[in-house]
Structure formats: C-alpha cells, structure tokens
Homo-oligomer: A and B are copies of this chain.
C-alpha cells in the first residue's frame, strides 16, 4: 500500500492485487451487509465544487455501515475558503484552509475533500498543488473526492463495473474525448486511463489534435500498464482506435495545447461537435461493446440519447458502484479503529 499518510488519495498508491483485495471487500459488503461496522464513526465531507453522486453516495454508504457524516460547502451556508498560503485576507474569503481543514478534521474520523483544478497552470494542476496542500493540513485520513487530476473513487467504481460485466482484463479499452460546451478538468481522463492500464487492458486514448493528454498522465498510465501487462497508446484516428473495442469510455476535457485558455479552447472545439458518441461510433467495435461515462453527461452534445438509453450503456452501474466501492474504502479506513 501507499507510503503516504493513511487515506485514499490515488489508485496508483495500490498494486493491482491490492485493488483486487479492495474490490473483494466491496463485494463482500454488498453480499453480507455490515450495518454496525462504523457505528460511532463520522465522515466529514468538504465540497469546494458541486456534486451529485459523491454527495449522495458517501452519505448513503456511511449510513449503510452504521456511521454518520456531515457536509460542508464553503460559500453556501459556510464562509468562503482562502487556499493561497501567505495571503493577506482582505477580500471575500473569510476562512483560510489552514484553519478550516484541521478544524473540520478534528470533528470527524476521516475527511473527504473535493477540490477541482484551478485550470490555469497545467504543471500546478498535475502536481495537485491545491489538493495536496489541503490534504496535508488534515491530521485525519483524507479521501479524494476528485482533485485537479485524479478521481480515485470513480476509477475504483469503474474497475468494479468492468469486473461485474466480465470484460476481459486484457480487453481493448478506448477512452474517447467528446464535445462539451466548455473545457472540463483532466481528473477523470487521468484516473480512467491509469485504472484501465493497471487492470492490464489495451488502452487507446482517442482525441482530436490539441487535446492530447499531458505526458505526466500518459507516463503514469504506461508505468501501470507495464506492471500489469497492458498497454497505453493515443491517436486521433477513430477507425483504428474503435476497431475491436470492448469498451468505449467517453469523457470531455479541455484543450491541453492551450491549457487554461478558454477562448482558444472554444475556437478549437467549434470544429469538433462531431466528436459525439452515437450508435454508429460502435460500427467497428465488438458486437457486445459497452459504453461507459462517469456522469454527469450532456445528452446529445457529448453522447446521443440512443447510446445512453441503449443496451450498451453501463453508466447507471458505474454510478451505483460508486457507493459500493466507497463503502469498502470507508470500511478499510475506519472499521475497528478507536473513534
């Protein structure tokens, strides 16, 4: 396991066997509920950004294990948070994370944090400057609810979904860029390409020019692939990518050639509205190819109704598995501990 402080930061902190153990625990808790495992345990949920699945599934998961949770959303019933170290706080933010994080941590047994990318400086976002800075302030185990370039809970749920569907560990997994009204962060594509590589799959990243995944993300995925017997390549050739695919995983992200430049991104994507997953997208894929997406999804912009509502779609299974795998993460971190 990880050499970091206790918590759940990154699937890359685990070997493939350790992930399989965690998924086995998830399955065990699904088959044999433990409604008292976390009696008296409290999870703090800190959302710097919006949420649906994460917000609901963590509360529900804690409750199913007998624990409790509280939700804090700075700027909404709670003071806005300042994250810059050394800031002279004469603006709108009334509370610094240097107080906010350890204070919240002192009320709970684990602190789960969502903090999206700033979307301005690629190196800073890839280094997880913001999230790691916040996590380091917590004396309690931290759970990553999506950071600038990671979303380990989603990746773990997606892995379980692939297993549940008996998709071969060596199957072909196509991560396809799709269109969206605006630039979105790299968290899910980064976590997804790494997860599929660590599972041992033949991973192909299909994306238009200007949207290549940063080398730090690709290198990390390739390292995982080499340990697991998989592979990671990228291309803008849809036919080549999709031929023989077991899975098409659609995701929106912002242009990386002009990272953080909204105008450049919009100019590029104005020519890319055909990057939408439709039934025809699966023409050269395996007959039984499945469709995945982390949600939320812009219907008929990123993905057509016919795919989301058709038999290929696994999106609801992925979302349900969020709760299932998170219960394993919570159980691992909190069961049997002294409250």
A50: chain B residues at CB < 8 Å are: 77-79
> A90 within 8 Å of B by Cβ?
yes
Looking at chain A's contact residues, is the secondary structure mostly helix, strand, loop, or mixed? Answer: mixed
Q: How far is the CA of A59 from the CA of B102 in the complex (A)?
A: 17
Could you name 13 residue pairs across A and B whose Cβ atoms are closer than 8 Å? A40-B66, A42-B60, A50-B78, A52-B79, A56-B103, A60-B68, A76-B77, A88-B301, A89-B300, A94-B296, A99-B308, A100-B296, A107-B323
B51 and A40 form a contact (CB under 8 A) = no
Q: Answer whether A323 and B77 are a contact pair too, CB < 8 Å, given A82-B299, A86-B305.
A: no
Chain A, 117-146, contact with B by CB distance < 8 Å: what is the 0/1 string?
Answer: 000000000000000000000000000000
Most-contacted residue by chain B among A70, A79, A86, A103 (CB, 10 A): A103
> A336 within 8 Å of B by Cβ?
no
> A266 within 8 Å of B by Cβ?
no
> A170 within 8 Å of B by Cβ?
no
Give the shortest distance, in Å, between A179 (CB) and chain B (any CB).
9
A308: chain B residues at CB < 8 Å are: 98-99
Give the shortest distance, in Å, between A142 (CB) and chain B (any CB).
16
Contact of A89 among B57, B99, B299, B319 (CB under 8 A): B299
Contact of A64 among B40, B44, B71 (CB under 8 A): B40
B300 and A87 form a contact (CB under 8 A) = yes
Q: Which residue of B lies closest to A40 (CB)?
A: B35
A79: chain B residues at CB < 8 Å are: 50, 52, 296
B51 and A78 form a contact (CB under 8 A) = yes
Q: How far is the CA of A127 from the CA of B14 in the complex (A)?
A: 53
Give the shortest distance, in Å, between A218 (CB) and chain B (any CB).
28
Q: Which residue of B lies closest to A52 (CB)?
A: B78
A72 and B47 form a contact (CB under 8 A) = no
A295 and B103 form a contact (CB under 8 A) = yes
Contact of A77 among B39, B55, B95, B108 (CB under 8 A): B55
A298: chain B residues at CB < 8 Å are: 89-90, 94
